[in-house]
Amino acid sequence: MNRTIRIDDQISLKFLVESDARTIFNYINTQRDYLGEWLPFVQFTHEVKDSKGFVDMAIELRKIKKDYVYKICYDDRMIGLIGTKETDYLNKNTELGYWLSQDYQGQGIMTKVVEKLTALLFDEMGIERIQICCAVGNEKSIAIPKRLGFIQEGIKRNGEWAGNLVFRDLIVFSKLKSESNS
């Protein structure tokens, strides 16, 4: 995958680097209530070193060409993350996960980013199936795969541990390469 992916004149995706850990932590720490409503990892992120562990893991997975995590940049400023998760190259499928700063919601940014990364995964990586899982009730996240023509396959019951002995059901969406416009 490319180090930088241009989405439009203002939006780009860039590989994570070690120094991004502080920015990621600052977003999580200053938007804890907002991001924490749907992202379980927020409750376990208490210090910069917690974000550094995530960034280090993402860099290692990229080095071995397993998964790719990008920072979403608006005018070169990080505003969120998107990446592949648990890519299975033998069966040519992957999952996308993403989050965006509260300040940049509602502008169509994530829809553009998911659309572009989906096309690249199909066309350049040879992926056949892309999955997106959204927590039941997370309407902003659910709208993205729906808008992009992903098919709702079903519900993954208790698919995500939300902490405090609470599990959430996840809506599973997928798109096949044969269903894409590329």
Q: What is the DSSP string of the chain?
A: --SEEE-SSSEEEEE--TTHHHHHHHHHHHTHHHHHTT-GGGGG--SHHHHHHHHHHHHHHHHTTS--EEEEEETTEEEEEEEEEEEETTTTEEEEEEEE-GGGTTSSHHHHHHHHHHHHHHHTS---EEEEEEETT-HHHHHHHHHTTPEEEEEEEEEEEEETTEEEEEEEEEEEGGGS--
Overall pTM surpassing 0.75 (yes/no): yes
Q: Quickly state the pLDDT bin for 13 (edges 50, 70, 90).
A: very high
**41 pLDDT more than 70:** yes
Q: Quickly state the pLDDT bin for 90 (edges 50, 70, 90).
A: very high
CATH of the structural domain 4-179, one choice from 1.10.8.350, 3.40.630.30, 3.30.750.24, 1.10.340.30:
3.40.630.30
Instruction: Give the residue-averaged pLDDT of 119-137.
Output: 96
**6 pLDDT more than 90:** yes
Model pLDDT, residue 67: 97
Q: Quickly state the pLDDT bin for 48 (edges 50, 70, 90).
A: very high
Burial of 128 (0-12, 13-18, 19+ CB in 10 A): middle
Instruction: Give the residue-averaged pLDDT of 78-105.
Output: 97
**141 pLDDT more than 70:** yes
Model pLDDT, residue 2: 82
- Tokens found for residue 7: 């989405």
Per-residue model confidence as pLDDT tens digits over 54-86: 999 999 999 999 999 999 999 999 999 999 999
**142 pLDDT more than 70:** yes
Decide: 68 and 1 in contact? Cβ < 8 Å.
yes
Q: Quickly state the pLDDT bin for 16 (edges 50, 70, 90).
A: very high
